[in-house]
Amino acid sequence: MRHAWLLLALKVLSAGSAGPQGAITPLARACGPSSANVVCVNHYASVMPYHFSRDALAYNIKHVEDSFRTTTIPSDPSFDQVGDADFLIFDEDRALPLLGDNPRNDYLFSVSNRYHEAPVYAPKQNRLFFSQITPSGFLPQYSVDLGKEPLTISEYATDPQIYAANGATFHDGYIYWAVSGGNDSIFDPPREQRAGIYRTDPASGATTCLVNNYFGYYLNSPNDLIVDSKGDIWFTDPDYGWFSGLTDTAPQQSAATWRFNPSTGALNVVEQSLELPNGIGLSPDEKTLYISDTGSAASTIVQRFGSQAATFDNWNITGARSIYAFDVVEGTYLSGKRVIYKAQSLAPDGMKVAKNGYVLAATGSGVDVLDGRGTYIMRIQTNFTVNQFAWAGADYRQIWMTGVGGIARATLNLPGQGN
């Protein structure tokens, strides 16, 4: 019935000035389980009735959201449903089973209008950890005990404390952090920290730096990371620490993606063609590595000019905002670079791969769900900009989203890989 209805809808011609012939009406409709506000977008809204518009300068000029749902289509009121949806469905055959019978999308906490990054779940402690990124030097991490109701946020201090953890993953009992902050002026008593990869025992908080340089050059600002089955750490190293005022030294190397072997200390560059590599994810069979490029938010890299501290005016709507896939060869290097997805909202920030191989990316006010080839399946929508997310819970079916001004949790039939 669903396919028959869609074929009929595609044959409907918009009347009068709405046009053009072939316009899809209605563009959107309610669908799916009643436990959440689920909206199906017909035929990807590939032919919109006139006049439609989307403000490409909304984000960096007006400081307001620019996303698919902010498109204005006065001639089709059905599209109004898109703005308030908890879940947007584009591929019904594959998306509706992911929702299950009782999907949830709950806004849990209001937090400061800072970046909230590096969410990571420690299963033995049944806790979610995440960070707040601020140039002023906020040091504690945050923690949520998932076993206690009502849920509350508390501060958590690693030992020693780390500044500006931007990405995190869990592997073999430890939390691994991609730490983007580098200076010697925020700690009391004074000490120095350089950007790098750090490891924490979540039980004790004991923290060790694993790598902080490449033959004497500082790392720029590690942003996100994954650990493969051999224990090698793959991480992105863009320039955002400098752009955001988190480090006192301008980048000394080109932005790149690296593979680090903790057992030998060897650090190898594996990719340096992307302008600003950001999110990173590995397929369950470890044959494909996904990296996002967020070069659309690039800024000036000159030491004497100082950090630009991440202004909205840096945003370039025509810049890089895509996800790339690479073949992992012999578990050590990459080949076969191909672009698979361009973000429909802002740029793909945090990124992870589900147990079934689907790729999830934080893009603007939500999380996009793609198949391994980059086809857009569905979107989890929020009322705040999502920086990163993590799977949590005993069955890894909770998706905790952290970002600017909010923390939310979606519950789906889409389990993560456990890290």
* pTM (2 d.p.): 0.93
At residue 29, the pLDDT reads: 97
At residue 307, the pLDDT reads: 66
At residue 208, the pLDDT reads: 98
Cβ contact 98:378 at 8 Å: yes
Q: List per-residue pLDDT tens for the chain, 419 residues long.
A: 455 444 434 444 433 447 899 999 999 999 999 999 999 999 999 999 999 999 877 666 556 788 999 999 999 999 999 999 999 999 999 999 999 999 999 999 999 999 999 999 999 999 999 999 987 777 889 999 999 999 999 999 999 999 999 999 999 999 999 999 998 888 888 899 999 999 999 999 999 999 999 999 999 999 999 999 999 999 999 999 988 889 989 999 999 999 999 999 999 999 999 999 999 999 999 999 999 999 988 877 777 766 655 444 577 888 899 999 999 999 999 999 999 999 999 999 999 999 999 999 999 999 999 999 999 999 999 999 999 999 999 999 999 999 999 999 999 999 999 76
Q: What is the 3-state secondary structure (H, E, C) of 97-163?
A: HHHCCCCEEEEEEECCCCEEEEEEEECCCCEEEEEEECCCCCCCEEEEECCCCCCCEEEECCECCCC
Contacts 24+ apart (CB under 8 A), 106-111: 106/408, 106/409, 106/410, 106/411, 107/382, 107/383, 107/406, 107/407, 107/408, 108/151, 108/407, 108/408, 108/409, 109/151, 109/153, 109/406, 109/407, 110/405, 110/406, 111/153, 111/405, 111/406, 111/407
At residue 280, the pLDDT reads: 98
As a whole number of angstroms, the distance between CA 348 and CA 358 comes to: 15
The shares of helix, strand and coil residues in the chain, as percent rounded to the nearest 5, are 15, 40, 45
At residue 368, the pLDDT reads: 98
